Amino acid sequence: MTKFLVWIETKFMPPMAKLAEQKHLKAIRDGVISTLSLILVGSFFLIIANPPIASWAEAIAPYTADIVIPFRITMGLMSIYASYGMGYSLAKSYKLDGITGGVLSLATFLMLTVPVNVDALLPEGQGIGWVLPMGNLGGAGMFSAILAMIFAVESLRFFKNRNLMIKMPEQVPDSVARSFEALIPGAFVITIVWIIRVLLDFDLNSFILSIFTPINDILGNNLIGVLVPVIFITLLWAAGVHGMSVIGSVARPMWLVMLDANGQALADGAAPNQLPYIAPEQFYQWTVWIGGAGSTLALCILLLFAKSVYLKQVGRFSIIPSLFNINEPLIFG
């Protein structure tokens, strides 16, 4: 056992600690987490539209389509919000302008979705012009949003480091100067994506999903796929590294794809026991990590009755966060 712990500390922990600080993974983590509030709000409306009591469900059935609109605008567009957040975070890590990085990432991601003219599908005089299909703007487009963010911000950094930008005089307001600085990188990024998506007719979203769908099936509907993240997260915690920060940076985009697929299926009328994925991130939160990573709620309760004054204090200030699966105060305490 001692040799195993030494191996964790000397061989396993150092590369994992470096991975947790990798700029692109940190940007993905920060950008995805920035969408959490919108996901929670959208989920509330989804719960209201699908109450667990049959009589309530029948009463609100005529209004379900209207009730789930906030869900479709929040979770249904989560990749849009995440693309901006990830681009902002990565640009700031390079000491570039965060707003420019976020906007370029968002524009690059939207360029991957071809607008559709729906006038021909509607009666004459009722046309609404061009629309963006929402199918790839939610969780299904998360991997494309990540690639778009990396390409956009790295291109911005490339042009910035080589001074291939339009410089404005100091008297020009910063907001205007930033717009002109982003002109050349923006033209480059959008042109490249336009060539790939429109001229070459290469659907990056479909290609990436075809690659990651088998992985999602393993992570979302397979016991081994569930155990692997749990084992790595607990090993990292045992070595003193925040396990969810490392593993979550890699797995959370896939978990969000599963969550979005489940939410869309539920909003479209699927039964709760017929959703496509069993184990998105919420599965871990409410069936594996009771009280936080390591299922420490029971330990927190035991500490409330400890003879040690210090341990009793740790239990007291940790009990409330532990009820919400936040156990950093307990672990570090």
CA–CA separation, 315 and 333 (whole Å)? 9
β-strands 130-131, 116-117: how paired?
antiparallel
pTM for this predicted structure: 0.82
Euclidean distance between CA atoms 27 and 13, whole angstroms: 21
Helix (H) or strand (E) holding 161: helix 142-161
If we measure between CA atoms, which residue out of 135, 138, 34, 134 comes closest to residue 86? 34
CA distance 236 to 246: 8
Which pLDDT does position 192 carry in this prediction? 95
Residues belonging to the chain: 333
CB 292 within 8 A of CB 322: yes
Give the DSSP H or E segment for 204. Answer: helix 204-221
Question: Where is 28: in which H helix or E strand?
Answer: helix 23-33
Q: What is the pLDDT of residue 80?
A: 94
Distance CA 285, CA 233 (A): 13
What gap in Å lies between CA 35 and CA 192, rounded to an integer? 28
Provide the pLDDT for residue 227.
92
| Burial (Cβ within 10 Å: 0-12, 13-18, ≥19) of residue 48 | middle
End-to-end alpha carbon distance in the chain: 25
Torsion sign across C-alpha atoms 312, 303, 282, 294: positive
pLDDT, residue 182, reads: 85
Instruction: State the Cα–Cα distance between residues 117 and 188, nearest whole angstrom.
Output: 26
Residue 185 confidence (pLDDT): 92
Neighbours of 38 (CB within 10 A): 17
d(CA 116, CA 144): 19
Spell out the per-residue pLDDT of the chain, length 333, in tens. 677 667 777 777 777 777 777 889 889 888 988 888 888 898 889 888 888 788 888 888 888 889 989 998 998 899 999 999 999 999 999 999 999 999 999 999 999 998 887 776 666 666 677 888 888 898 888 889 999 999 999 999 999 898 888 877 777 777 777 778 888 999 999 999 999 999 999 998 888 888 888 888 888 899 999 999 998 888 888 777 777 877 887 888 888 889 888 988 888 888 888 899 999 988 998 888 888 888 888 998 999 998 888 999 998 989 898 888 888 888 877
From the CB of residue 310, how many other CB atoms can be counted at a distance below 10 Å? 10
- Distance, CA of 120 to CA of 266 (rounded, Å): 30
Task: State how far the Cα of 303 lies from the Cα of 293, in Å rounded to an integer.
Answer: 17
Distance CA 97, CA 230 (A): 37
